[in-house]
């Protein structure tokens, strides 16, 4: 896919020492800031062989979170007092992501079920499973034609989860014998699959971001999947993959697992005020789509975009390697009404207006008095003809900078972070 994930952490840089820069003071990011790191491009490809103005220290151990002689004037360009210095956050070590030894806090195997009940359920499910599928299809058809939205109470979607009562043949032996080794053979592939899915989601930007820009991923399993093995056995299996158990607070219905990933190392990224990146480079303008095809794409997408959405719902068992697959698909095969003129004309002014409109919408406080977001994501479709660096330039005017919690992927999206600014 042309907009696939690409990380371009170069190994060397230009070899020359950094030149004097307009940003002599620290920036609000650890590990050298979001615009630090070696330049992966050769001097012939780099249109701006200059020093990195953001390669400074951690703002929470030094002074203010903004450059004193920042890109928009003297002192603090935002006209607000700066926060006091904070103690440095503990930097995660490689060993910190490893699971600690099990301390006995997780329960063991659950009581076995009756063999007669298990065999009866396994036999009857081949009768009520087709009936449930038919009833589910009929209900969806009724809701579609009547315009109703269905029940909205808590747990009102339990009727969609009758499949949880099914016993697959692989689990039948474990249920009947109750031996821990049989349960382990059953749950180990399920656990590995869910862990791999969670780690793929982390690579695509999922996870809960911590104060030190590390991210935590979570996985949970229902007790029906590991009854004879116990939560302690599941945690033991998860430790092989570097995951650890999370205390459930007496919840015996499921086991929770987590893994903490440290913040990625800083890589090269141009600053908002650096010379414009050359077209075709990761941070420059992307190649434009054919102006002759755009009108047809604009009209035909009214039909094929919903069709593709319906097909993806019907083929729910098909898993794409990238969790943000549909964002990437839309960037290739769809064009937004507001982005149409900018892409059709190729006008730099039109692209600038479009980028500013989208960034202003993303940083706006939410409804019901919610505050402005700390993190936003701007997709490729927004800045295709302007370049990812132009997004950095526009976002910096709103107090947002490249998010150090994620590896930059300008071929797909730009993730931005607003540092804390306390009065």
Q: Which residues contact 370 (CB under 8 A, 6 or more apart)?
A: none
CA–CA gap between residue 411 and residue 388 (Å, rounded): 8
pLDDT of residue 308: 85
In the predicted structure, residue 33 carries a pLDDT above the cut 60: no
pLDDT of residue 354: 94
pLDDT in tens, 229-282: 999 999 999 999 999 999 877 778 889 999 999 999 888 888 888 998 999 899
In the predicted structure, residue 388 carries a pLDDT above the cut 90: yes
Count CB atoms within 10 A of the CB of residue 245. 22
CA–CA gap between residue 305 and residue 314 (Å, rounded): 15
Radius of gyration of the chain (CA): 26
Q: Which residues pair with 402 in a beta bridge?
A: 416
Residue with more model confidence, 218 or 267: 218
Element holding 122 (H helix, E strand): helix 115-146
Element holding 382 (H helix, E strand): helix 380-383
Name residue, tokens 């800083």. Answer: 266
**Residue 228 pLDDT class (50, 70, 90 cuts):** very high
**Residue 333 pLDDT class (50, 70, 90 cuts):** confident
Average pLDDT over residues 3-23: 43
């Amino acid at each position: 896919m042309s907009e696939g994930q690409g990380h371009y952490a170069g190994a060397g840089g230009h070899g020359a020492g950094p030149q004097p820069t307009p940003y002599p003071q620290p920036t609000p990011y650890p590990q050298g800031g979001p615009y630090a790191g070696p330049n992966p491009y050769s001097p012939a490809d780099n249109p701006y062989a200059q020093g990195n103005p953001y390669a400074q220290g951690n703002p929470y151990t030094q002074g203010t979170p903004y450059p004193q002689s920042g890109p928009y004037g003297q002192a603090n360009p935002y006209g607000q007092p700066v926060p006091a210095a904070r103690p440095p956050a503990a930097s995660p070590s490689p060993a910190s992501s490893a699971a600690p030894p099990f301390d006995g806090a997780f329960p063991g195997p659950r009581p076995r079920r009756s063999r007669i009940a298990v065999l009866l359920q396994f036999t009857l499910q081949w009768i009520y499973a087709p009936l449930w599928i038919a009833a589910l299809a009929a209900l969806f058809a009724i809701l579609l034609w009547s315009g109703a939205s269905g029940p909205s109470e808590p747990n009102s979607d339990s009727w969609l989860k009758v499949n949880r009562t099914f016993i697959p043949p692989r689990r039948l032996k474990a249920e009947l014998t109750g031996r821990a080794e049989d349960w382990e053979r059953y749950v180990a592939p399920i656990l590995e699959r869910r862990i791999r899915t969670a780690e793929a989601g982390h690579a695509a930007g999922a996870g809960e971001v911590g104060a030190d820009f590390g991210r935590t991923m979570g996985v949970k399993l229902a007790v029906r999947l590991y009854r004879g093995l116990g939560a302690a056995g599941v945690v033991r299996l998860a430790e092989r993959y570097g995951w650890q158990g999370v205390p459930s607070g007496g919840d015996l219905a499921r086991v929770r697992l987590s893994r903490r990933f440290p913040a990625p190392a800083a890589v090269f990224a141009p600053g908002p005020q650096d010379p414009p990146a050359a077209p075709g480079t990761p941070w420059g303008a992307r190649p434009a789509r054919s102006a002759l095809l755009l009108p047809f794409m604009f009209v035909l997408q009214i039909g094929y975009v919903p069709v593709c959405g319906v097909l993806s719902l019907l083929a729910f068992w098909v898993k794409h390697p990238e969790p943000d697959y549909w964002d990437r698909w839309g960037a290739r095969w769809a064009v937004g009404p507001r982005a149409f003129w900018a892409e059709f004309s190729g006008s730099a002014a039109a692209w600038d207006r479009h980028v500013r409109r989208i960034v202003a919408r993303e940083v706006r406080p939410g409804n019901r008095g919610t505050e402005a977001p700390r993190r936003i994501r701007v997709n490729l479709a927004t800045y295709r003809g302007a370049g990812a660096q132009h997004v950095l330039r526009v976002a910096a005017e709103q107090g947002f900078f490249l998010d150090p919690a994620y590896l930059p992927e300008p071929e797909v999206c730009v993730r931005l972070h607003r540092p804390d600014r306390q009065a």
